[in-house]
Amino acid sequence: MVAATDPQAVAAPDALPKPENRVWKKFRRHKSAMLGGVLVVFFVVIALLAPFLPIAAPEATDWSAVRQAPSAAHWFGTDEIGRDVLARLIWGAQASLLAGVVSVGIAVLVGVPLGILAGYFGGWIDAIISRCTEALLAVPFLILAIALAAFLGPSLTNAMIAIGISATPLFIRLTRGQVINVKVEDYVESARAIGLPTRMILTRYILPNVAPPILVQATLTVATAIIAEASLSFLGLGQQPPAPSWGSMLNVAKNFLNQAPWMAMYPGISIFLVVLGFNLLGDGLRDALDPRER
């Protein structure tokens, strides 16, 4: 808001940086955020390029190379039936990222509209939505996801749905709170004063103004969702063998921790790095989008 009284703004309006640039500029100066961004981009690129990388097929077994330590032939070693750990990690990245993004997508698509309805209209709509939200929030996130995944049946798709539903109340809550703040802003009132229908006010005035914190929360929740997917796969409720997933790799590897530690180490490091990446990215976004520091 400082820019409003900036004499430059009067003299040369075009010389001012656009707000997108400003957020990007701030983000770029944020070292840990950039590190997070690089990590996330790295894993995304690897996952997308999996079919084209010169790696072994992730499900190809090799009985002559069972539980081999990392070597030139198998950079990250092999698992208990001779599959290449690196190849499985790379293909597993697809499952993990997909699970993270899709489940958060579900949570956002369901949670944000419900939150907007609850926050904007209040009254009995708010009462119903909020009570349901609170009921869901009363159950721990992972327990709820496990219960839902078990109910839906074990598969990656169902795991995503389960995680998505479990994360929805978070977004309802957050959106509702933000909408309650924004709906009393003068510009919403002036939107009503120019006769805009409620639908337009919600989509053009409320939604864009509550979006930044939702974006931050979504980024942070991707990290949580990736851990949740790994946990479900670890428990056998997510990605089904023989398809690779970091969680199920850990599940098998726990039996060979002494004989073949690489089997557990690399998936563990991968989960750590990708979760760290999303968390740093989320923190950086929060700082960059913070209106108080503009």
The reply on whether position 9 binds other proteins by CB under 8 A is: yes
Residue 134 vs 189, nearer CB to other proteins: 189
Q: How far apart are CA 78 and CA 84, in angstroms?
A: 5
Residue 3 vs 60, nearer CB to other proteins: 3
Report which residue type is found at 151. Answer: F
Q: C-alpha 146: how far from its chain's center?
A: 18
What track of x and - describes contact with other proteins for positions 64 through 103 (by CB under 8 A)? ----------------------------------------
The reply on whether position 134 binds other proteins by CB under 8 A is: no
Residue 17 vs 242, nearer CB to other proteins: 17
Helix axes 31-49, 261-289, angle to 10 degrees: 130
Residue 18 vs 52, nearer CB to other proteins: 18
Candidates 13-21, 139-147, 157-165, 222-230 — which segment interacts with other proteins by CB under 8 A?
13-21
User: How close are the terminal C-alpha atoms of the chain, in Å?
Assistant: 7
Residue 54 vs 195, nearer CB to other proteins: 195
Report which residue type is found at 232. Answer: L
Could you tell me the smallest distance in angstroms from the CB atom of residue 194 to other proteins? Answer: 3
The reply on whether position 125 binds other proteins by CB under 8 A is: no
The reply on whether position 16 binds other proteins by CB under 8 A is: yes
Within positions 204 to 263, which residues make up the interface with other proteins, using CB under 8 A? 204-205, 208-209
Could you tell me the smallest distance in angstroms from the CB atom of residue 3 to other proteins? Answer: 5
Question: How many residues interact with other proteins (rule CB under 8 A)?
Answer: 29
Could you tell me the smallest distance in angstroms from the CB atom of residue 229 to other proteins? Answer: 33
What track of x and - describes contact with other proteins for positions 179 through 208 (by CB under 8 A)? ------xxx-xxxxxxxxx--x---xx--x
Cβ–Cβ < 8 Å for 224, 171: no
The reply on whether position 292 binds other proteins by CB under 8 A is: no
The reply on whether position 293 binds other proteins by CB under 8 A is: no
Q: How far apart are CA 150 and CA 158, in angstroms?
A: 9
Residue 72 vs 194, nearer CB to other proteins: 194
Distances (CA, A) of 24 to 36, 84, 158, 177, 259: 14, 39, 36, 26, 47
Could you tell me the smallest distance in angstroms from the CB atom of residue 21 to other proteins? Answer: 12
Judge if the upstream peptide bond of residue 208 is cis by omega within 30 degrees of 0.
no
Q: How far apart are CA 35 and CA 156, in angstroms?
A: 29
Alpha helices for the chain (secondary structure H): 7-11, 19-29, 31-49, 85-121, 123-138, 141-152, 156-183, 186-193, 198-200, 207-234, 246-253, 261-289
Question: Which residues have CB under 8 Å from 22's CB, separation 6+?
Answer: 294
Q: How far apart are CA 284 and CA 37, in angstroms?
A: 9
The reply on whether position 10 binds other proteins by CB under 8 A is: yes
**Site residues (vs other proteins, CB under 8 A):** 1, 3-5, 9-10, 13-14, 16, 19, 123, 185-187, 189-197, 200, 204-205, 208-209, 294
